[in-house]
């Protein structure tokens, strides 16, 4: 046995049935913890395909689909993957069959630990409690149904029709394939042992390393750790104190900018009502204002008119001392967009004052 195989066996979980007697299914390693096998009789099986999603989004979509099938607050679910196909098992906890207190919880559906068939087709499995009919195609589980006792011909025929197969065949002979050490579908990345057990191992290794350290190296490491902890705590405290001040400063800067804009508008002495009157004098007889937007010395309006020549609008405001530079651009539905660069009060000489 290679070193890699020995490490894998060391972290292999001990599997027990999630029943009142907690029967052991497979023995594991010393650091593998306990994995509870949920009998198929307690599970509801659902299948979903996410070939239209990217691999990164499939996990979230499968988790959402599993929650939709959880009908009770105590319901749990397990998702396994065969390519883009998600196999979802949902079950509810029973008070008399729950894992013992203090156990390191990890669950696996019974169907996932029954070895996959060598050939495609329909088979009937004898389980811990009841029987399960499975339909495999292209090496992927396509349908699953559970019965408390061997199904009769009519129930077996309904299962076959649900699989899209002819219902005239006899009921399959129940078979007991035993237990597989590894599930036949991927459950994604998992820790080699339970988090609690890995944490204990990590702390034991750290403690052993500290014992081997000597002299000033240990003192320097401890001093550095304490200093870093104090520095992080001090920085966190300073950030907490400075956050309200920074937020207040940002609000003040925003308010100052707004007031500055109002002050400049007041200094310019240009009222929107007066500007509207100046714009209206240059419009054609059928011209109507549709939109008005002013940003300090810039003004943009939209006019609805049968007049489609931009030069007509530009020439109408060339003599205006207030509206200043003018440009017109045809828009949709007969609209004309006119842009003005306003001649502010500060930009006009004393002789140009109205």
Q: SS3 sequence, 104-165?
A: CCCEEEHHHHCCCCCCCEEEEEECCCCEEEEEEECCEEEEEEEECCCCCHHHHHHHHHHCCC
Q: Do 47 and 96 belong together in one domain? A: yes
- Answer yes or no: do 55 and 102 share one domain: yes
Q: Are residues 173 and 278 in the same domain?
A: no
Does residue 242 sit in the same domain as residue 172?
no
Residue 198 belongs to some domain of the structure = no
Q: CA of 20: how far to CAs of 16, 43, 91, 98, 102, in Å?
A: 11, 17, 16, 7, 16
Q: Confirm if 13 and 35 have CB atoms less than 8 A apart.
A: yes
**Averaged pLDDT for residues 134-158:** 94
Nearest to 90 by CA among 40, 129, 50: 40
How much is the pLDDT for 90?
94
Q: Which helix (H) or strand (E) holds 327?
A: strand 325-330
Mean pLDDT of 213-218: 78
Residues 245 and 318 in one domain: no
Answer yes or no: is 31 within a domain: yes
Taking 70 as the threshold, does the pLDDT of residue 98 lie above it? no
Give 112: exposed, middle or buried? Use CB within 10 Å, 0-12, 13-18, 19+. Answer: buried
Domain limits at 261? 213-266
Q: Is residue 199 part of a domain?
A: no
Tally the domains of the chain.
3
Rounded mean pLDDT, 325-344: 85
Residue 139 has pLDDT above 90, yes or no: yes
Confidence check: pLDDT of 352 > 50: no
Taking 80 as the threshold, does the pLDDT of residue 291 lie above it? yes
- CATH code, domain with 326: 3.30.1360.100
Q: How far is it, in rounded angstroms, from Cα 24 to Cα 20?
A: 12
pLDDT tens, residue by residue, 240-274: 888 898 888 899 999 888 888 767 666 666 777 78
Structure confidence at residue 354 as a pLDDT band (50, 70, 90): very low
> How much is the average pLDDT of 83-99?
78
> Is position 202 within any domain?
no
User: Are 40 and 69 members of one domain?
Assistant: yes
Give the residue among 164, 148, 168 at the shortest CA–CA distance from 156. Answer: 168
Give the other-Cβ count within 10 Å of 11's Cβ: 19
Q: pLDDT-based confidence at 190, cuts 50/70/90?
A: low
Same domain for 173 and 245? Answer: no
Q: Are residues 74 and 139 in the same domain?
A: yes
Parallel, antiparallel or unpaired: strands 44-49 and 85-92: antiparallel
Residue 65 falls within a domain, yes or no?
yes
Sign of the C-alpha dihedral computed for residues 308, 311, 312 and 316 taken in this order: positive
Q: Identify whether residues 262 and 283 lie together within a single domain.
A: no
Query: In terms of domains, do 260 and 288 share one?
Result: no
Do 96 and 234 reside in the same domain of the chain?
no
Q: What is the pLDDT of residues 22-66, one digit of tens each?
A: 788 888 777 667 788 999 999 999 999 999 999 889 999 999 999
pLDDT at 345: 44
Same domain, 62 and 174: yes
pLDDT at position 133, please?
96
Q: CA 67 to CA 141: how far, in whole Å?
A: 21
């Amino acid at each position: 046995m290679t070193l890699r195989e020995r490490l894998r066996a060391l972290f292999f979980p001990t599997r027990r049935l999630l029943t009142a007697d907690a029967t052991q299914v497979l023995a594991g390693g010393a650091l593998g913890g306990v994995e509870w096998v949920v009998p198929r009789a307690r599970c509801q099986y659902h299948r979903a395909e996410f070939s239209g999603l990217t691999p990164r989004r499939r996990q979230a979509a499968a988790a959402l689909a599993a929650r939709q099938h959880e009908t009770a607050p105590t319901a749990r679910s397990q998702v396994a993957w065969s390519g883009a196909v998600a196999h979802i098992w949902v079950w509810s906890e029973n008070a008399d069959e729950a894992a013992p207190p203090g156990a390191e919880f990890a669950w696996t559906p019974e169907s996932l630990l029954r070895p996959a068939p060598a050939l495609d087709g329909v088979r009937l499995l004898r389980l811990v409690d009841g029987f399960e009919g499975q339909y495999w195609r292209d090496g992927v589980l396509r349908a699953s149904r559970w019965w408390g006792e061997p199904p009769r011909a009519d129930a077996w025929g309904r299962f076959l029709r649900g699989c899209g197969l002819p219902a005239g065949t006899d009921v399959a002979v129940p078979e007991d394939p035993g237990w597989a050490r590894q599930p036949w579908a991927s459950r994604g990345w998992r820790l080699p042992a339970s988090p609690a057990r890995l944490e204990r191992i990590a702390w034991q290794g750290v403690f052993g390393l500290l014992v081997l350290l000597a002299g000033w190296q240990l003192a320097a490491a401890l001093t550095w750790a304490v200093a870093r902890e104090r520095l992080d705590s001090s920085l966190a405290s300073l950030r907490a104190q400075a956050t309200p001040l920074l937020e207040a400063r940002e609000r003040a800067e925003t308010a100052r900018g707004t007031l500055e804009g109002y002050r400049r508008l007041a200094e310019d002495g240009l009222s929107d009502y007066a500007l509207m009157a100046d714009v209206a004098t240059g419009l054609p007889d059928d011209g109507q204002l549709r939109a008005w937007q002013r940003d300090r010395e810039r003004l943009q309006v939209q006019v609805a008119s049968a007049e489609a020549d931009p030069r007509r609008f530009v020439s109408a405001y060339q003599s205006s001392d207030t509206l200043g530079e003018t440009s017109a651009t045809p828009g949709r539905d007969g609209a004309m967009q006119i842009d003005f660069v306003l001649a502010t009060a500060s930009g006009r000489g004393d002789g140009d004052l109205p």
